[in-house]
Amino acid sequence: MDKNRVASITSDLIDAVRDVCIKHAVTHTEYRAAIDFVSRAIDAGERSLLFDAFLEANVVASDPTKITGTTSQVLGPFYLPDMPFLKDGVMARENELGERLRVSGKVLNCRSEPVGGVELDFWQADASGRYSHFDGGATPDKNLRGRIASDETGDFFLETVKPAQYTIPDQGPTGLLLREMGRHSWRPAHLHVIARHSDYSTLTTQIYFEGDEYLESDAVRAASTDLAFPLIYDGDQTILSFNLVLQDIDSTN
Ligand SMILES: [Fe+2]
């Protein structure tokens, strides 16, 4: 990171903290308590959780390189790279519990032209709100993770199950702070996806479900209602349909 930016950003951050101290007449005892709290959270292994829960969404939302296209979302802590390419877009095992979901849509550029050959890297919680690899082995390796590609007309298809809402880890210092702030630890149900293509900026986002009770009060303040789509019921099929719009690489020039 450029030295001048370190200096100017840090100076502004210190000024912002000073303003908060003045506004709330923060005492020295409270200052020490705050430092102790952050130390306790780090000692409890919650360094990423604490900062990602309260700050990451702000950084993503204010990204100056993101000008157009589908809204970006936080990567979150549960991504794993190099997941397999899915045969026929089938990500859920035959015996995976939960409501079967057919996910389809189109990848477009900002001129509404279809974009083929886009790698779509999906991951999600299962119907009990668990992410494989982060659930102590409760679900199989690489479960509900995988990559597909849009075809030459930009279309994509994924067969999965509807993910459940889940709580971020809330039994440690981060959860305590959320409760003291009067906030809950629930995230709305969502699919994570990263869209990659060499001609476009990589898009990291999350897709939500219209009507989810936690859309407006996401524990990590990430959820965006423009990324919430309705479930469509067609016979015995449940369908989720949405488009992804990619930003040209040179949009910021
Ligand atoms: Fe998630």
Q: Where are the domains of the chain?
A: 3-61, 87-252
**How much distance in Å is there from the Cα of 11 to the middle of ligand 1?**
34
Low-confidence spans in the chain with pLDDT less than 70:
252-253
CB neighbours of residue 134 within 10 Å? 13
**How much distance in Å is there from the Cα of 131 to the middle of ligand 1?**
8
Lookup: tokens for 142: 């690489």
**How much distance in Å is there from the Cα of 113 to the middle of ligand 1?**
29
**How much distance in Å is there from the Cα of 132 to the middle of ligand 1?**
11
**How much distance in Å is there from the Cα of 222 to the middle of ligand 1?**
10
**How much distance in Å is there from the Cα of 188 to the middle of ligand 1?**
9
- Kindly report the pTM of this predicted structure: 0.92
The set of residues, in sequence order, having a beta carbon less than 8 Å from that of 244 and lying 6+ positions away, is 70, 105, 106, 107, 108, 118, 120, 193, 195, 203, 205
Fold assignment, 87-252: Protocatechuate 3,4-Dioxygenase, subunit A (2.60.130)
Average pLDDT, the chain: 95
**How much distance in Å is there from the Cα of 122 to the middle of ligand 1?**
11
**How much distance in Å is there from the Cα of 79 to the middle of ligand 1?**
9
Per-residue model confidence (pLDDT) at position 252: 57
**How much distance in Å is there from the Cα of 124 to the middle of ligand 1?**
6
**How much distance in Å is there from the Cα of 78 to the middle of ligand 1?**
7
Give the three-state DSSP class for 107: strand
Q: For residue range 200-250, list pLDDT tens digits in order.
A: 999 999 999 999 999 999 999 999 999 999 999 999 899 999 999 999 997
Q: What is the dihedral of CA 97, 132, 178, 218, to 10 degrees?
A: -60
Per-residue model confidence (pLDDT) at position 236: 86
Q: For residue range 149-170, list pLDDT tens digits in order.
A: 999 999 999 999 999 999 999 9
Per-residue model confidence (pLDDT) at position 1: 83
**How much distance in Å is there from the Cα of 168 to the middle of ligand 1?**
9
